[in-house]
A and B are shown apart, each in its own frame.
Chain A
Amino acid sequence: MSDFITSVKDNNSIVIIETNGYLNNVGGEAVSAVVYEKMTQGHKKFLINMAATKIVNSIGVSILIEIIEKLQEVDGKIGYYNLAPIVAKTFTIMGLTKYSSVFESEEAAVNGL
Chain B
Amino acid sequence: MASELHINDLQLKYLELETLLDITNELNSFDQIPVLLHEILVKSCAVLNASSGLIFIEDDNSDVLHIGAEFNIDISILKGFILNKQKGFLSEINESRQARSYEIEQNSFLSKTLCKYALIAPLLEKKNLVGIVVLFDKESRKGISPFHEADANMLSAIASQASVAYNNIKLLENIKEAKTFNDNVMQSIATGVFTTNLMGEINHINSAATTIINLEKNHVLGNHYEYIFESNETITQLITKCQLKSVTLSESQVLIECNGKLTTVNISVSPLMNDSNEPIGSVIAMEDLSNIVKLKSTFKKYVSKQIVDQLLENDDMLNLGGQELEATILFSDIRGFTSMSETMSPKEVVETLNEYFDLMIEIIFKYNGTLDKIIGDALMVIYGAPNATEQDTENAVLTAIEMQEKLIQFNQDRIINLKQPIKIGIGINRGKVISGNIGSKQQMNFTVIGDSVNLASRLCSVAESDEIIVSDAVWKMVKHVKSYKSKKLNPVHVKGKVKPIEIKGILYNRPDFQYELAYKKIEHFLLENLPKNYPYHSIEHIRDVVKQTERIAKKEKVEKSVFQDIKLAAWLHDVGYIWEPARHEVRGAEYATSILTEMKFPKSKISLITGMIMATKIPQSPKNHLEQILCDADLDYLGRDDYALNSNNLLQELELTKKLKAKDWLQIQEKFLRAHSYFTPTSQKLRNKIKQQTLLNIQQQLKNI
Contact = CB atoms under 8 A, between A and B. Distances in A.
Interface of A: 21-22, 24-26, 54-59, 61-63, 65, 68-69, 72, 86, 89-90, 93-95, 99
Given A21-B72, A25-B51, A58 B12 contact: yes
B46 interface: yes
A72 B1 contact: yes
Nearest to B72: A22
B444 to A, nearest CB: 77
B289 interface: no
A69 B15 contact: no
20 contacts: A24-B49, A24-B139, A25-B141, A55-B43, A57-B47, A57-B49, A58-B12, A58-B49, A59-B49, A59-B140, A59-B141, A65-B6, A69-B5, A86-B22, A86-B43, A90-B46, A93-B15, A94-B7, A94-B15, A99-B5
A58 B5 contact: no
Given A24-B51, A72-B1, A57 B46 contact: yes
Given A86-B22, A93-B18, 18 more contacts: A22-B45, A22-B46, A24-B49, A24-B51, A24-B72, A24-B139, A25-B139, A25-B141, A55-B42, A55-B43, A57-B48, A58-B7, A65-B5, A65-B7, A68-B5, A69-B5, A86-B43, A89-B18
Given A25-B141, A86-B22, A93-B14, A61 B51 contact: no
B11 A95 contact: yes
Contacts of B72: 21-22, 24
A90 B22 CA distance: 12
Contacts of A93: 11, 14-15, 18
Interface range on chain B: under 10, 10 to 19, 20 to 34, or 35 or more?
Answer: 20 to 34
Q: What 6 A-B pairs come out closest when comparing CB atoms? A: A25-B139, A59-B139, A57-B49, A57-B46, A55-B46, A93-B15
Contacts, number: 64
Contact of A69 (B2, B11, B141): B2
Nearest to A87: B46
A21 B46 CA distance: 12
Interface string B131-157: 000000001110000000000000000
Interface in B3-24: 5-7, 11-12, 14-15, 18, 22
B71 interface: yes
A53 B15 CA distance: 18
Contact of A22 (B18, B47, B71, B141): B71
Given A89-B18, A93-B18, A62 B42 contact: no
Contacts of B47: 57
A62 B7 contact: yes
Interface string B46-77: 11111100000000000000000001100000
A111 B22 CA distance: 33
Interface in B332-348: none
A58 B139 CA distance: 9
Name the residue among B1, B12, B139 with the largest chain A CB count within 10 angstroms: B139
